[in-house]
Amino acid sequence: MSVSEIALAEGQSTDGRGGEFRRGLAASTPVLLGIIPYALVLGAQAAQKGLSVAEVPLMTGLNFAGGSEFAAIRLWTSPPHILLIAAITFLVNSRHLLMGAALAPFINHLPKRQVFPALFLMCDESWAVGLADARRRADAGMRPAFSLAFYLGAALPFYLAWVAFTTCGAALGPVLGDVETYGSALAFPAVFLVLLRGMWTGFAAARPWLVSLAVAALTYLVVPGAWYVAAGALSGLVAAWFLAGER
């Protein structure tokens, strides 16, 4: 067991749930700071499309998934095309099916009254942080491998920050103007590069990611709409299945 794993185990045994929650908050804070710029961007874009300051937190709080919210806002018209927006939202959020499946073995011991709220709070960032921690704990022989308190420490601040800063973006949008001119669009890829680095275990394990990236990029170039999301997710899943026995 490494020094970090020993510290993790000792922290869990002495501090209990409060210590685990703080550990999750500390692990997610660097990424949490990165979501603020594009939360402001989304709120400002929503305000420019005619959504009120009260309506923006309803959208971001009930549909906690940034990618689909950006897609919905880009498609928003007056009156809105509800079926089209719903279909694109489902398509963009389809990656959550795979994310939930990856997390399922670590949370199947939890009662449903805890699982459903945890999955509601799941976003790309909290999923990556929570899954990486569960795998480290499993490798260290800790049971259960999934710490719900750690996960909530990572996930709940993301939810609160996302709703709060999209609301701020809606309120400040008319003052800020086009916030993307400040370079805030770079925050989105920067956050995901940090997440990928944290989950990196070697090139062999990354091959499904590369397949997914290539297929998603090709689909984006040749097929209109958000089909590249589903194409990338499914191709990565198929690649992982075929390459599973080669590690």
Instruction: State residue 35's pLDDT score.
Output: 84
Question: Distance between CA atoms of 16 and 124, rounded to whole angstroms?
Answer: 26
Burial class (CB in 10 A: 0-12, 13-18, 19+), 48: middle
List, as one string, the DSSP characters of the chain: --HHHHHHHHHHHHHHHHHHHHHHHHHHHHHHHHHHHHHHHHHHHHHHTT--TTHHHHHHHHS--HHHHHHHHHH--SS--HHHHHHHHHHHHTHHHHHHHHHHHHHTTS-HHHHHHHHHT--HHHHHHHHHHHHHHHHTT-SSS--HHHHHHHHHHHHHHHHHHHHHHHHHHHHH--GGGGTGGGHHHHHHHHHHHHH---HHHHHHHHHHHHHHHHHHHHS-SSHHHHHHHHHHHHHHHHHGGG-
Instruction: For residue 2, name the pLDDT band (cuts at 50, 70, 90).
Output: very low
Contact partners, residue 27, CB within 8 Å, separation at least 6: 129, 133, 150, 153, 154
Answer whether residue 172 shows pLDDT above 70. Answer: yes
Report how far apart, in Å, the C-alpha atoms of 133 and of each of 128, 129, 194 are.
9, 6, 15
Q: Between residues 195 and 50, which one has the greater pLDDT?
A: 50
Provide the CB-side half-sphere exposure for 168 (13 A, CA): 12
Question: Distance between CA atoms of 146 and 144, rounded to whole angstroms?
Answer: 6
| Total number of residues shown for the chain | 247
Instruction: State residue 5's pLDDT score.
Output: 42
Instruction: State residue 166's pLDDT score.
Output: 94
Structure tokens at 102: 């990856």
Structure tokens at 88: 């694109």
State the average pLDDT over residues 129-143. 90
Question: Distance between CA atoms of 45 and 48, rounded to whole angstroms?
Answer: 5
Instruction: State residue 34's pLDDT score.
Output: 78
Average pLDDT, the chain: 81
Instruction: For residue 118, name the pLDDT band (cuts at 50, 70, 90).
Output: very high
State the average pLDDT over residues 19-31. 90
Question: Distance between CA atoms of 183 and 147, rounded to whole angstroms?
Answer: 36
State the average pLDDT over residues 178-191. 62
State the average pLDDT over residues 122-129. 89
Answer whether residue 12 shows pLDDT above 50. Answer: no
Structure tokens at 176: 């800020």
Provide the CB-side half-sphere exposure for 11 (13 A, CA): 17
Instruction: State residue 229's pLDDT score.
Output: 73
Across 44-58, 75-89, 152-166, least confident range: 75-89
Instruction: State residue 3's pLDDT score.
Output: 31
State the average pLDDT over residues 202-221. 84
Instruction: State residue 238's pLDDT score.
Output: 84
Instruction: State residue 114's pLDDT score.
Output: 92
Instruction: State residue 91's pLDDT score.
Output: 77
Answer whether residue 116 shows pLDDT above 90. Answer: yes
